[in-house]
Amino acid sequence: MADAKQLAARAFKAAEYDFSRLMDVPQALMHREDRHGVRLLIAPTFALPDAALDAILSWRLGQYLLTRFYDADVVADQGLVREDAATVHAADVHGLAIDPDGGLLTYLTLKQPEELEGFRYGSADRPAFPCEEVHGRGWQESITDAGDVPAEQCWELARFVTDQRRPEDPIIHRGALEIALVAARLACRPAFASRVRLVTGDLDPDIALRNLRYFFIPVATFAPHHVTLPNGHPLRPRYAEHRTSPFIANAGDLDWATFVRWADIDLALNSGEEETYLRFLLLRQFVSVKESSLKRPNEPRDESRYPVEALTSSSSLGASNALWRSATAGAIPWQALTLGPGEPLPRDRVSWIVEGFAQALTYRPEGLAHLAGIGPEVCFVPHESIAGSIASLDAATPLRALTTTREDFESFWRQRQALFETSSEKLYGMTEIVRAAEA
């Protein structure tokens, strides 16, 4: 059996390159100079020198060997020192977080199959995205309002990986947050927004889905499962040993709540190391309650005290109004509050914002400072262990909010979440699995 660590070391040797030399690449989509040790670059393949692309492909291979996503025996048998350049297209977009020594901290790519022009996302005969080559397309029967989107406006997010050789180094986590934030913001700028309507891919729901929710990015995702790829496929362990799920996100679902969240994340990243960690911990208490508009939820099968609209509306706005009516009628254990500017929200109960805007402040040595802005589509879910780090949570505008205990909120939330998932038997019929295995 081949030694994955030795093969990874060989790949990293081939990946030696000073990526800081790319910061002035003229065709880059964006670059940002050092912030707390992290520089950022986003550039298409055609803007990168061949030596830089070779180094990226070697670095990707090394990281996937360390995560055990790649089959070490296949890599050894084929004598690979980098991933196949044939899988990279000229218009693919590469995101790099670069450390002070010019090494890679984090990498991601947005890619497309070639010859998508003229096709719609729902076209049965269009070229397949990489995630579809693995998962098939049966899961797309459970999405809506995506079929008519021009296929060239859909991109696959792939190879989002951090340097596995130094997992305890705080700069690694900072690099991942920095590149994720700047890539998301870039896709929403007017120069690019018309080119990015849908983002697809596959993910580990236990990690990646939580991270997307942290950034307030609604995604339609599906029951995770194991996929059997054919013998000799280098990524066979990645899918055989880890449950993955296809996902798709609609750029149109991003709204002011998402953008305010990104501003709060940016503020946290602009702080020193200790404060950054604390701010990211505190921000966990503010969660998005919006689901993807692309996902067609199931109809409730079990009786519930909650109205159907509160459980099945992808936007929290419809759910909010239904919850408000039920709360004012005393049908659910939630309380309806109407507040004016400056009045406090309870910090020991869940607060679901129906209308208006609230601001959370935290402590700094020089006094109080902004932590988070919350409004419709956002909910405050207190964590006892860190509740004391929030100095105040007050209405900034006239405000309507629903409050309840964490237990009652989580009971409702579990019911709502269940309706936005679909069983694996429906999504992954044997035909799709066999087709993926034979690809």
Structure tokens at 126: 């269009």
151 burial level (CB within 10 Å; 0-12, 13-18, 19+):
buried
Structure tokens at 428: 């992954």
Q: CA-to-CA distance for 40 and 31, rounded, in angstroms?
A: 5
Q: Which DSSP string corresponds to 90-143?
A: TT-EEEEEE-TTS-EEEEEEEE--S--TT-BTT-TTSPPPHHHHHH-SGGGGGB
Decide: helix, strand or coil at residue 283.
helix
pLDDT, position 438:
31
Domain assignment of residue 44, yes or no: yes
Q: What is the 3-state secondary structure (H, E, C) of 305-347?
A: CCCHHHHHCCCHHHHHHHHHHHHHCCCCCCEEEEECCCCECCC
User: Which residues are 107's β-sheet partners?
Assistant: 96, 161
Q: CA-to-CA distance for 275 and 259, rounded, in angstroms?
A: 21
Output the CA torsion sign for 227, 228, 229, 233.
positive
Boundary of a domain, candidates 95, 111, 127: 111
Number of domains composing the chain: 2
Boundary of a domain, candidates 111, 145, 172: 111
Domain assignment of residue 220, yes or no: no
The boundaries of the domain holding residue 357 are 298-419
Q: Which of 371, 377, 370, 353 is nearest to 292 (CA)?
A: 377
Domain assignment of residue 426, yes or no: no
Domain assignment of residue 407, yes or no: yes
Q: CA-to-CA distance for 320 and 337, rounded, in angstroms?
A: 13
Domain assignment of residue 120, yes or no: no
Q: CA-to-CA distance for 380 and 284, rounded, in angstroms?
A: 9
The gap from C-alpha 318 to its chain's centroid, in whole angstroms, comes to: 24
Taking 70 as the pLDDT cut, the residues of the chain under it are 421-439
pLDDT, position 421:
66
What lies within 8 Å, CB to CB, of 19 at 6+ separation is: 41, 52, 55, 96, 98, 102, 103, 104
Domain assignment of residue 86, yes or no: yes
Domain assignment of residue 395, yes or no: yes
180 burial level (CB within 10 Å; 0-12, 13-18, 19+):
buried
- Secondary element (H or E) of residue 221: strand 220-221
User: Which residues are 360's β-sheet partners?
Assistant: 372, 393
pLDDT, position 81:
95
Helix, strand and coil percent figures for the chain, each rounded to 5: 40, 25, 35
What lies within 8 Å, CB to CB, of 308 at 6+ separation is: 299, 300
pLDDT, position 434:
30
Boundary of a domain, candidates 111, 134, 153: 111
Structure tokens at 128: 């397949």
Separation in Å, CA 2 to CA 74, 168, 406: 9, 27, 50
Domain assignment of residue 368, yes or no: yes
